[in-house]
């Protein structure tokens, strides 16, 4: 151990042990975060354990938990740790949903015109999808504005995309009740996790008769200038229009949805409206 | 890949920004580029734009929109222009340089001059011929101010050395490399055009001291004016419409009785009155709705509201209560009602149906209970009530039964405002799938002129409802709100006095 890290560890250690009646592991987690925030360098388990004079196993366990909630990230090479994106943006204001609608208006309209389906934009709200914008299917049939409605996250395309790209990562799933709506609803953690993995890999998500029989939906993430998924945009409609003869979402529709999502993301990257 | 023209571009030269939107055959947006320009405030009440800056922005947004859509300009069937109306520019015919900043529609420097022009008759002196009351807002008085104020300008205008134009003319001139043209809708906002003949009115020109030599040729709104050079080289320049007229066109409000309202910086209701010129007894303006080449002009009644979106901007920029315009909805939704508070944003007087230039803004009903959420709500309600008054005037002038209000413009992203409108007006409010109807109208008119779209029915078939808000309050609540609003409006009257010191803007 070097001089400076001894000093550092003493300070941190002093703080950790000097406060009685608190939850020790939370304080240790905080100490780890402070160390990770203290320099430009990424730190490994051994360095952290030495600095805090804690067993490696303990530090490792805390790091795993912090990683689970998105507060730390492990670098791809070498396995060292750094602060996670979720932590960096905690405290920064989230994109106002009305702002999101204002910025997305044109693209949502255009998506509805091109896909001939209804369009919704959603953002996560306490484990559910809050519909922040809704464009009617452009066929002049009677439809009711659903802005403000809540959709189940695990059974909607919007929800799956939001879950897959959320900064909180997997921990978000802990709070979800995987309620069944149809025979095809994903009701196990395992099935949902697999699907979310697929969504992350493909960059879009779908739901085929998982919320309502005979209906399907496709959605893609909307990212802001920091790369954070601030919402999702998608189309939904009758399965025979949304899916091909194999019952899979039509790829042309998928690319129209993704184009719209990208355009909105680009618009959010601009400094002013 | 095909290289056939498959898209139409629209340039929207607005009050705060210029944008270019590329549309496909269904009227869907392919790409958008936008750039804000400076608002120049040389003195209280004066608002100018730098026309060269605007032209540079227009070139840039056109390039950006084409780049974003990954299109060469050869794929454009036509370009249409829509513009902030009345904003007045004079430029040198030989050099193409503006002789003065453009004087915008909000600018009130012609206050005195307008009174003078009214003489013994007053503000309705030219109304029958041009459809407009004398007001600072229109181009004619601004042009007269320039001719009087800029040294030597009147003489140069007489000799045809300088040219007058609204922003459509300026852009057509720049795009085509020297055609001096305006369309009937823009011309109908100058006070200088005769509504019946659709030509400059010699009697009015004489009163205003404006020589014909300085004026552009008046053409239909949808017609091929010429071919662009430069950034849009080879593309037909095929439409021009004032922004509100373009919105009427984009909303496909082609039948008498159709009504639209555009919610931007200011707000504007236009009612299609077909081929008849309706003179308003309730403070509305008579204007040309649009004219398609080879057809008769379609007229409209217009009610304008000076301050709607700009009140939201005031909340953002002057009060700092919100960070972006959209946040006013978030703030307004923190409360259930206006808490008894009403805002009458008569920042530079009241427009239709009052036309009281001496009125000034008031916030009434303040108690210790009122918080910023109530203020935000009152700001949105001000837009709704002002709309209500204009619609009441239209009903009175035409015995019209309004079925639904077609809305568009930046503020239609605000769902709370849309609900407040339906509640206040007691009619359904519908938003079409393309909220950018101003640009769409210019694109439609241009596409129609070159045969990209065959006829008006093809355009009507493109209009679809994107959202609808139904009235949801009881008549008693509506009536109480209306009464309070009227009391608040009365409190804004007679505010300015002869000896007021000029207030910093
Ligand atoms: N979500 C919103 N809620 C309220 N006002 C808004 C919202 N979005 C934009 N605005 C207002 O709308 C105006 C911009 O609309 P726009 O149609 O672009 O106007 P213009 O063409 O007159 O510049 C601004 O005054 C802005 O304050």
pLDDT digits (tens, 9 = 90+) for B163-192: 999 999 999 999 999 999 999 999 999 999
A135 and A251 fall within a common domain: yes
pLDDT band at A10 (very low <50, low <70, confident <90, very high): very low
A95 and A77 fall within a common domain: no
Whole-prediction pTM value? 0.80
Query: Is B466's CB within 8 Å of A147's CB?
Result: no
pLDDT band at B393 (very low <50, low <70, confident <90, very high): very high
Question: A273 pLDDT exceeds 50?
Answer: no
Mean pLDDT for chain B overall: 93
Structure confidence by residue, pLDDT tens digits, A254-269: 999 999 999 999 888 7
Q: Quick check: helix, strand or coil at residue B420?
A: helix
Q: Phi and psi of B287, rounded to 5°?
A: -150, 170
**B66 part of a folded domain:** yes
Structure confidence by residue, pLDDT tens digits, B134-145: 988 899 999 999
Query: Is B434's CB within 8 Å of A113's CB?
Result: yes
**A131 part of a folded domain:** yes
3-state helix, strand, coil in chain A (%, to 5): 45, 20, 35
Domain end: A36, A57, A83, which one?
A: A83
Q: What percent of chain A has pLDDT over 90?
A: 56
What is the B309 CA–ligand 1 centroid distance (Å)?
5
Query: Is A113's CB within 8 Å of B464's CB?
Result: yes
**A30 part of a folded domain:** yes
From CA B435, how far away is CA B408, in angstroms rounded?
Answer: 5
**B114 part of a folded domain:** yes
| Tokens standing for residue B383 | 């837009």
CA gyration radius for chain B? 22
pLDDT band at B208 (very low <50, low <70, confident <90, very high): very high
Give A254's contacts (C-beta < 8 A, 6+ positions apart).
A204, A206, A218, A220
pLDDT band at A78 (very low <50, low <70, confident <90, very high): low
Dihedral through CA A139, CA A140, CA A143, CA A147, nearest 10?
80
Sign (positive or negative) of CA dihedral B312, B317, B319, B322:
positive
Q: What percent of chain B has pLDDT over 70?
A: 99
Q: How large is the average pLDDT for residues A88-116?
A: 82
**B277 part of a folded domain:** no
A31 and A147 fall within a common domain: no
Q: How distant, in Å, are the alpha carbons of A48, B250, B334, B403 from that of B431?
A: 58, 12, 25, 14
**A272 part of a folded domain:** no
pLDDT band at A2 (very low <50, low <70, confident <90, very high): very low
Confidence (pLDDT) at B409: 87
A38 and A96 fall within a common domain: no
State which residues form the domain around B246: 7-252
**CATH number for position B55:** 3.30.420.40
**B292 part of a folded domain:** no
Q: How large is the average pLDDT for residues B358-365?
A: 96
**B187 part of a folded domain:** yes
State which residues form the domain around A95: 91-267
From CA B46, how far away is CA B36, in angstroms rounded?
Answer: 19
**B431 part of a folded domain:** no
Question: A47-51, B2-6, B73-77, B499-503: which has the minimum mean pLDDT?
Answer: B2-6
Q: Quick check: helix, strand or coil at residue A223?
A: strand
A170 and A205 fall within a common domain: yes
* Set of chain A residues whose Cβ sits within 8 Å of the Cβ of B414: 98, 102
Q: How large is the average pLDDT for residues B438-461?
A: 95
A160 and A219 fall within a common domain: yes
pLDDT band at A80 (very low <50, low <70, confident <90, very high): confident
Q: How many domains does chain A have?
A: 2
Give A259's contacts (C-beta < 8 A, 6+ positions apart).
none
Question: A6 pLDDT exceeds 70?
Answer: no
A251 and A126 fall within a common domain: yes
The finding on whether B411 has its CB within 6 A of some atom of ligand 1 is yes
A108: closest CA among A134, A129, A132, A131?
Answer: A134
Q: How many domains does chain B have?
A: 1
Question: A69-78, A182-191, B423-432: which has the minimum mean pLDDT?
Answer: A69-78
A158: closest CA among A108, A105, A96, A87?
Answer: A108
A154 and A135 fall within a common domain: yes
**CATH number for position A104:** 3.30.450.40
**A253 part of a folded domain:** yes
Domain end: A22, A50, A83, which one?
A: A83
The finding on whether B244 has its CB within 6 A of some atom of ligand 1 is no
Question: A92 pLDDT exceeds 70?
Answer: no
A34 and A166 fall within a common domain: no
Confidence (pLDDT) at A5: 40
Give the residue from B30, B330, B408, B433 with the most A CB atoms within 10 Å of its CB, the best one to mutate: B433
């Amino acid at each position: 151990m070097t001089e400076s890290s001894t000093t550092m560890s003493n300070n941190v250690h002093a703080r950790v042990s000097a406060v009685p009646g608190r939850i020790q592991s939370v304080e240790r987690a905080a100490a780890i975060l402070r160390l990770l925030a203290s320099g430009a360098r990424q730190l490994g388990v051994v360095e952290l354990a030495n600095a805090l004079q804690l067993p490696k196993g303990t530090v490792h366990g805390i790091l795993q938990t912090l990683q689970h909630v998105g507060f730390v990230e492990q670098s791809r090479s070498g396995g060292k740790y750094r602060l996670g994106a979720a932590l960096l943006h905690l405290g920064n204001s989230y994109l106002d949903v009305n702002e999101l609608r204002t910025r997305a208006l044109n693209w949502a309209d255009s998506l509805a015109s091109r896909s001939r389906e209804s369009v919704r934009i959603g953002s996560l709200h306490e484990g559910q999808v809050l519909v922040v914008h809704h464009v009617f299917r452009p066929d002049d049939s009677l439809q009711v504005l659903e802005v403000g409605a809540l959709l189940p996250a695990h059974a909607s395309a919007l929800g799956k995309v939001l879950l897959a790209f959320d900064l909180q990562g997997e921990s978000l799933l802990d709070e979800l009740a995987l309620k069944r709506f149809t025979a095809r609803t994903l009701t196990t953690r395992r099935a949902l996790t697999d699907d979310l993995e697929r969504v992350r890999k493909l960059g879009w998500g779908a739901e085929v008769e998982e919320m309502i029989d005979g209906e399907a939906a496709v959605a893609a993430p909307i990212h802001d200038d920091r790369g954070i998924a601030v919402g999702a945009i998608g189309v939904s409609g009758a399965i025979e229009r949304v899916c091909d003869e194999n019952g899979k979402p039509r790829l042309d529709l998928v690319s129209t949805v993704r184009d719209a999502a990208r355009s909105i993301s680009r618009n959010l990257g601009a400094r002013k409206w | 890949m095909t290289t056939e023209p498959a898209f139409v571009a629209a340039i929207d030269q607005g009050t705060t920004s210029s944008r270019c939107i590329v549309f496909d055959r269904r009227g869907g947006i392919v790409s958008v580029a936008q750039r804000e320009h400076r608002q120049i405030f040389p003195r209280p009440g004066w608002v100018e734009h730098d026309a060269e800056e605007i032209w540079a922005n227009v070139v840039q947004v056109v390039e950006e929109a084409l780049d974003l859509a990954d299109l060469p300009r050869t794929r454009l069937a036509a370009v249409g222009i829509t513009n902030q109306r009345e904003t007045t520019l004079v430029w040198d015919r030989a050099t193409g340089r503006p002789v003065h900043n453009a004087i915008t529609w909000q600018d009130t420097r012609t206050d005195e001059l307008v009174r003078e022009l009214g003489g013994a008759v007053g503000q309705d002196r030219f109304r029958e011929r041009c459809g407009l009351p004398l007001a600072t807002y229109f181009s004619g008085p601004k042009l007269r101010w320039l001719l009087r104020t800029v040294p030597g300008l009147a003489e140069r205008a007489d000799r045809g050395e300088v040219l007058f134009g609204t922003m459509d003319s300026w852009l057509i001139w720049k795009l085509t490399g020297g055609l001096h043209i305006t369309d009937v809708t823009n011309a109908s906002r100058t006070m200088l055009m005769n509504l019946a003949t659709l030509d400059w009115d010699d009697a009015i020109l004489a009163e205003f001291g404006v020589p014909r030599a300085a004026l552009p040729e008046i053409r239909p709104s949808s017609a091929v004016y010429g071919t662009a050079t430069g950034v849009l080289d080879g593309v037909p320049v095929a439409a021009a419409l004032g922004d509100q007229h373009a919105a009427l066109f984009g909303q496909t409000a082609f039948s008498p009785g159709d009504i639209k309202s555009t919610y931007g910086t200011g707000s504007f209701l236009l009612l299609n009155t077909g081929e008849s010129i309706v003179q308003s007894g309730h403070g509305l303006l008579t204007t040309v709705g649009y004219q398609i080449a080879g057809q008769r002009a379609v007229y409209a009644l217009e009610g304008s509201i000076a301050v709607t979106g700009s009140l939201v901007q005031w909340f953002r920029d002057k009060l700092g209560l919100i960070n972006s315009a959209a946040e006013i909805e978030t703030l307004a939704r923190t409360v259930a009602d206006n808490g008894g508070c009403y805002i009458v944003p008569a920042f530079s007087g009241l427009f239709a149906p009052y036309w009281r230039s001496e009125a000034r803004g008031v916030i009434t009903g303040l108690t210790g209970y009122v918080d910023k959420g109530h203020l935000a709500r009152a700001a949105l309600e001000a837009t709704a009530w002002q709309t209500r008054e204009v619609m009441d005037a239209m009903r009175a002038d035409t015995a019209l039964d309004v079925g639904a209000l077609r809305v568009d413009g930046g503020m239609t992203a605000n769902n709370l405002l849309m609900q407040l409108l339906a509640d206040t007006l007691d009619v359904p409010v519908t938003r079409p799938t393309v909220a950018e109807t101003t640009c769409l109208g210019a694109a439609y008119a241009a596409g129609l002129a070159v045969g990209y779209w065959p006829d008006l029915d093809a355009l009507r078939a493109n209009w679809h409802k994107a959202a609808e808000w139904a009235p949801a309050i009881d008549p008693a609540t509506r009536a109480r709100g209306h009464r309070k609003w009227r009391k608040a409006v009365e409190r804004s009257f007679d505010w300015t006095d002869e000896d007021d010191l000029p207030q910093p803007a």
